[in-house]
Amino acid sequence: MAAAKTSIAAPVIAATFTVEPVLEAIDFWRRKLVLPDGAIAVPYGQLLADGLNPQGLLAQHAGPRVVLVRLSDIGNDRDVLYSVLSNVGQEKPLALLLCPEADGSMPDIEAWPDGVEAINVAELMTAYGVDQVADPMADEAGHVPYTPEAMAVLGTGIARWLDRLRRPPLKMIAVDADQTLWRGVLGEDGANGVRLSPQDSALQSTLRENAAQGRILSLCTKNDRSDIDDIFRQRTDFALRSDDFLDIRADWQAKPDNLAEGLSRFGVGQDAVLFLDDNPVEIAAMRAALPGVMSVTVPEGEPAFARHVWPLDPVPVTEEDERRTDRYRQETKRQAAMTAAPSLSDFFETLELDIIIEPAMATDCPRIAQLTERTNQFNASLIRCSEADISSRQASNTDFLYTVTVRDRFGDYGLVGVVGGRAKQDSFLCDLFLLSCRALGRGVEHQMLTLLGQCAADAGLNEIVIVAVEGPRNTPVRRFLAAWSNSSAEDQYSLSQEMALDCRFEPGQAVPVTDMSAPIYEGGAPPDIYDWIANEMTTGHAIVEAMAAAYRPRPTFQHGYVAPGPGAMSVVTAIWEDVLRIRPIGVRDSFTELGGRSIQLLQVQAGLVKWLGRPVEITSLFRYSTVEELVNALTQGGHPEQPASHRAERVRQSTSRLAARRRTLREVS
């Protein structure tokens, strides 16, 4: 069964080419995002063999799987690849990246087996501004087919996918208006005076796509409501319309207060909310008041901005997601009717509630799996199931699995609850007992308990045991079970068949709902990391630079540190430091003793070729183990010839690196 959102296992990575540079990028993001330690790589050249082996890493590893394929690497074995993906893509998340060919061309996205999520590499390279993708020299030397920037972007795309698996699902997007959805100030410029920039159009389109996926859009702006109504009525060039927003808070209240009210209204936790605003002061205020919210500063003049807001990444959507917006509107009407009713009893008498509990069908499996992942408040066991897990239960002759569907006079709630388990020798065990918060407090949970009594009676068993662990937000279900059980032990509640059958709902017995505005952030990436990513990590070059800046200190050797002098020694030392991410490196330090690997020599080779402007044999890099030996061999006692532009750039870099190295040495001493 899949782990909870904040605790996924380390991924296993398999590729048809040398994948170490991608692993380095994943490791960089792992440290930034607090992802699981150490991606595990299938040995080089073993993707297809491992995938066909039932005992291989791809089949047996507990975490997500990532497969990177350059189709020319597998020749005529596409059918074999399809079989591999079919075999390993059912139990745990599986991402597929179809990578560019040697000429830079991108393969078309093909139809792949169910359970495979294709990451569009062409879109990744465009989004991160990678113009030079292929690296023919590194490909020939070590089957490293892509430039450092392209490799870093591949690793970044994988990290985005892993982060999405780990992060709680995004449920609400709160967005500012002035200088965020348009250029200008509405109160001063008027509805027809504000401008729509390419960045604004892209962001509005992205937000509308998110609304179509069932995410709540909330407009949170310091403007008069009449002005907001006017601009959405008059500006037909906007991608967003006023009815795309389920919540419009156009007033002069503090934005954190407005958002907190919205969270309470819709029953959404902070960790499922994204806040977008151009004003750093508003961002700081939101972080101080609601620290669990992912608050991201909107820049100006960045058309690709929306592409780099990771929480806005598209997710697989079920039919339930597509109908969620309508259901939020229905719930608003219910709440208004409840407030207007003389009493709760009167409200429930006119609600015309229809609760349908029936055996799960195969077509229900995606929604059931989604409920186990997303339901926290009324989820007894907190077991997170994949679609394959649920399909196995649904097809089992020993497990029972029931769905709960609800409707009333305001509309259809949809499939909102699950009850599942199995008959044991002396008791009836229930390890899936969960209900969406939108159906709580209406007697649905009582009928779910009555169902367990009926199942136990049919099995000839008197005792019912419900698995119920303590989680950060599931107090409501544990209170409910405690009220109806006759005993409890660690992680379970027990009640008799008779007690379950006698379970009845009385209006006023509504399940107490936890404060949904309170954060449940436990581990994982700090919420403000997405601001840094969206505004700084927007190009392949920026990612490579950030990776290079993450230096480790020099190991302790018996020989002392010998600093490089100016010129060639300093330049080659800087190349080693960039590749090994160690600073400072002495000119007599051994490449292998510094932890260097043969794959990294290819990166050293690329750096030397760029500096010298001429080929460098890879064999010479294996032969000379220190900077001093290598420079002496390259220069043969003199100075290497190089273009003036390369020389000037390297002198500039050398000067800055020498200064940085001196600062590092002062700090160490």
Are 338 and 481 in the same domain?
yes
| Contact between 138 and 606 (Cβ < 8 Å) | yes
Query: What pLDDT sits at residue 509?
Result: 58
- Regions in the chain scoring below 50 on pLDDT: 1-6, 512, 514-522, 637-652, 654-655, 658-659, 661-669
In a domain, 544, yes or no: no
CATH of the domain at 147: 3.40.50.1110
Choose among 625, 646, 630, 602: nearest CA to 136: 602
Are 17 and 159 in the same domain?
yes
Query: What pLDDT sits at residue 508?
Result: 62
Are 143 and 176 in the same domain?
no
Q: Of the residues 262, 296, 312, which one is the last residue of a structural domain?
A: 312
Query: What is the DSSP code string of 345-390?
Result: HHHHHHH--EEEEEEPPGGGHHHHHHHHHH--TTBSS-----HHHH
- Using CA atoms, how far apart are residues 464 and 445, in angstroms rounded to an integer? 16
Question: Is the C-alpha dihedral spanning 155, 156, 158, 159 positive or negative?
Answer: positive
In a domain, 542, yes or no: no
pTM: 0.73
Are 158 and 217 in the same domain?
no
Are 323 and 298 in the same domain?
no
| Paired sense of beta strands 40-41 and 273-277, if any | unpaired
| Contact between 259 and 276 (Cβ < 8 Å) | no
In a domain, 569, yes or no: yes
- Residues in Cβ contact with 223 at an 8 Å cutoff, skipping those fewer than 6 apart: 177, 178, 186, 187, 250
Q: Of the residues 265, 291, 312, which one is the last residue of a structural domain?
A: 312
Total domains in the chain come to 4
Are 101 and 201 in the same domain?
no
Are 325 and 303 in the same domain?
no
Are 391 and 287 in the same domain?
no
CATH of the domain at 381: 3.40.630.30
Strand locations in 352-506 (E): 354-359, 399-408, 411-423, 428-435, 463-467, 487-489, 492-496
- Residues in Cβ contact with 399 at an 8 Å cutoff, skipping those fewer than 6 apart: 393, 420, 421, 422
CATH of the domain at 285: 3.40.50.1000
CATH of the domain at 597: 1.10.1200.10
In a domain, 511, yes or no: no
Instruction: Please give the residue range of the domain that contains residue 270.
Output: 172-312
Are 25 and 156 in the same domain?
yes
In a domain, 519, yes or no: no
In a domain, 533, yes or no: no
Q: Of the residues 477, 501, 525, which one is the last residue of a structural domain?
A: 501
Q: Residue 473 forms beta bridges with which residues? A: none
Are 287 and 259 in the same domain?
yes
Residue keyed to tokens 């995004």: 170
Are 141 and 183 in the same domain?
no
In a domain, 267, yes or no: yes
| Contact between 3 and 9 (Cβ < 8 Å) | yes
Angle between helices 387-395 and 365-374 (to 10 degrees): 130
Are 248 and 373 in the same domain?
no
In a domain, 541, yes or no: no
